[in-house]
Amino acid sequence: MRDVELKEVDQAKRLMTRENNGCVKVTVPENAGVKYGLSKDELIQIAGTAGWVRTRWALLVLFWLGWVGMLAGAIVIIVQAPRCKPIPEMNWWNEGLLYQISDINAFSDKGLKGVEEKLDYLSQMKVKGLVLGPIHTVRADQPDTLNLTSIKSEVGSENELESLLKQAHKRGISIVLNLTPNYEKPSVWFNNVTAVAEKIKKACAYWLTKGFDGIFLSELKDIAISDYWPSIQDIFNQTDNTKKVALMGSVTGLSVEDVSLLLNRSGVDLLLTELAAPAGSGVRQAQAIQKLYSGHLQTSLGWSVSRSLGSPAAPVRLFHTLLFTLPGTPVFSAGDEIGFKAGENLQTMWDLENPVEATNATAKTLQEERIAVRGFFKALSDLKRKERSLLHGEYVSLHSSATSLAFLRLWDQSERFLVALNWGNDSVTMTLSDSDLPAQARVCATTDTENLAVDRKVLVEKLELGPKQAVLLSYPYAG
């Protein structure tokens, strides 16, 4: 039997050999001759019948009717859809916060090199522009010693300055140079603008060719009325940079009307004011903001608050909430992001990441609080840069009293934001009414984490806010 089996296997192998041309015996089933479908000639014969002709025409008409219907529907949707507002012209100084480092050696004991080492930190805080200096050489109240194109040796060298500019630009941070002449004394123009105006003009041209993105001048009203001002403006209008360079200035102690007049007269790209300090009457603040906003493009306004952070009149987080949500550019001084007060050692900022011993309870509590304040600052800075309503949205006043303020920021179909602040010693209930307001809104940022936790839904019509508290609410566009 084994020999028979081997013989059968050998015969099967021979069927696959080259001598048999690789042919394999295949058994054809009995129904292999059955025909499926129609032949070509039969299809041609049937296609010409009246029934098939009518069917083809019906399908063709249905196809084109469907196509025309979809086209008409798309046109109706496009016509009836709400139009998007064109984005206003924005410059780099309108896209985030400005950070002032007036005393470079106080900020870092390494001078300009130290500022360069902290660029990553500034990037984390979403800083868009850095206002640097003054760094030029001058003796207080001695205009003859003024040299606006030289750098103080204790600050650093010109090579270090060029390196700082290069590294800042790589991170998307613009740098503005403060050229305030007599910066160590109240009389910043030596009580004689004419004596230094020509030097200012030459220094502007010199530093702009070095790669600076703008020039900043304190007490702008003094030089803006001089005969040299138009020629200084011409320097900024004639630059060949693809990126616009900015002419900035600051004013103090002016009324709203005078600030408005100076904006018109000076033509500066950004004017920094301190009118928004949350220490006076909320009614006056609302009126001042409304007047400036209605009379000028918010792209020309910068806001800051004098260094009274942490005081009873201006709690630091309330201060942050106000500046990040006002129309215009928020401007902070170094240390504001963690609530430093005037006179504190700025270099202790860099010790926050070093743990404090548990035995020193006071220092540990202070460190934790400042880290939390910095986190709050960064969260608001993130919102400012990415939300159109906060960046260039409309300002709508909702409520104002002696110690409180509430307003809306809205832009086209983007997320809306409601800002409420109470710097008084008592709780307030704000009755808010506006056609745009919903019944509820989501807490986006808050200083009152116990009663107004982040992401919680709160009633808007009767908004309750505790003393020294601020809240930022958001809600979607309703159509």
**pLDDT, tens digit, for every residue of 397-438?**
898 888 889 999 999 889 999 999 998 889 999 998 877 799
pLDDT of amino acid 325: 94
In terms of Cα–Cα distance, which of 371, 278, 266 is closest to 319? Answer: 278
User: Can you tell me the mean pLDDT for 24-38?
Assistant: 58
**pLDDT, tens digit, for every residue of 80-127?**
766 777 777 889 999 999 999 999 999 999 999 999 999 999 999 999
Instruction: Choose the most confident range, by mean pLDDT, from 161-170, 250-259, 356-365, 454-463.
Output: 161-170
**pLDDT, tens digit, for every residue of 263-314?**
888 889 999 987 544 555 667 777 777 777 765 566 788 888 765 444 444 5
pLDDT of amino acid 24: 53
Backbone angles phi, psi at 434, to 5 degrees: -165, 145
| pLDDT for 168 beyond 90 | yes
Instruction: Choose the most confident range, by mean pLDDT, from 13-17, 21-25, 209-213, 259-263.
Output: 209-213
pTM for the whole thing?
0.80
**Lowest-confidence segment of 75-84, 311-320, 443-452 by average pLDDT:** 311-320
pLDDT of amino acid 27: 59
Q: Judge whether 307 and 274 are in contact, CB under 8 Å.
A: no
User: Can you tell me the mean pLDDT for 151-165?
Assistant: 94
User: Can you tell me the mean pLDDT for 376-380?
Assistant: 95
Q: Could you give the CA distance from residue 428 to residue 465 in angstroms, rounded to a whole number?
A: 5
Q: Judge whether 431 and 462 are in contact, CB under 8 Å.
A: yes
Reported for 380-383, long-range contacts at CB under 8 A and 24+ positions apart, including other chains, are 380/320, 380/321, 380/324, 380/325, 380/445, 380/472, 381/96, 381/97, 381/125, 381/126, 381/324, 382/126, 383/324, 383/444, 383/445, 383/472
CATH, range 395-475: 2.60.40.1180
| pLDDT for 129 beyond 90 | yes
Kindly indicate whether the domain formed by 94-388 is annotated with CATH number 3.40.50.300.
no
Reported for 439-442, long-range contacts at CB under 8 A and 24+ positions apart, including other chains, are 440/475, 441/473, 441/474, 441/475, 442/473, 442/474, 442/475
- Partners of 410 in beta bridges: 394
pLDDT of amino acid 100: 95
Q: Which three-class secondary structure state does DSSP give residue 395?
A: strand
Q: Provide the pLDDT confidence category of residue 376 given band limits of 50, 70 and 90.
A: very high
DSSP state of 311: B
Residue ranges with strand state E in 120-230: 127-132, 136-139, 142-151, 174-178, 214-217
pLDDT of amino acid 174: 96
Q: Judge whether 127 and 172 are in contact, CB under 8 Å.
A: no
Same fold, 94-388 and 395-475: no
**pLDDT, tens digit, for every residue of 200-234?**
999 999 999 999 999 999 999 889 888 889 999 99
User: Can you tell me the mean pLDDT for 373-397?
Assistant: 93
pLDDT of amino acid 308: 47
pLDDT of amino acid 282: 65
| pLDDT for 165 beyond 50 | yes
Q: How many residues does the chain have?
A: 479
Our separate counts of H helices and E strands in the chain read 15, 18
Backbone angles phi, psi at 276, to 5 degrees: -95, 15
Q: Judge whether 272 and 254 are in contact, CB under 8 Å.
A: no
Q: Provide the pLDDT confidence category of residue 45 given band limits of 50, 70 and 90.
A: confident
Percent of the chain surpassing pLDDT 90: 47
Q: Could you give the CA distance from residue 372 to residue 366 in angstroms, rounded to a whole number?
A: 10
In terms of Cα–Cα distance, which of 411, 429, 423, 402 is closest to 477? Answer: 411
Domain boundaries, the chain: 2-26, 94-388, 395-475
Q: Could you give the CA distance from residue 235 to residue 269 in angstroms, rounded to a whole number?
A: 13
**pLDDT, tens digit, for every residue of 56-70?**
888 889 999 999 999
To which residue do tokens 């130290």 refer?
114
Q: Could you give the CA distance from residue 219 to residue 11 in angstroms, rounded to a whole number?
A: 110
Helix intervals (H) in 335-462:
361-386, 388-392
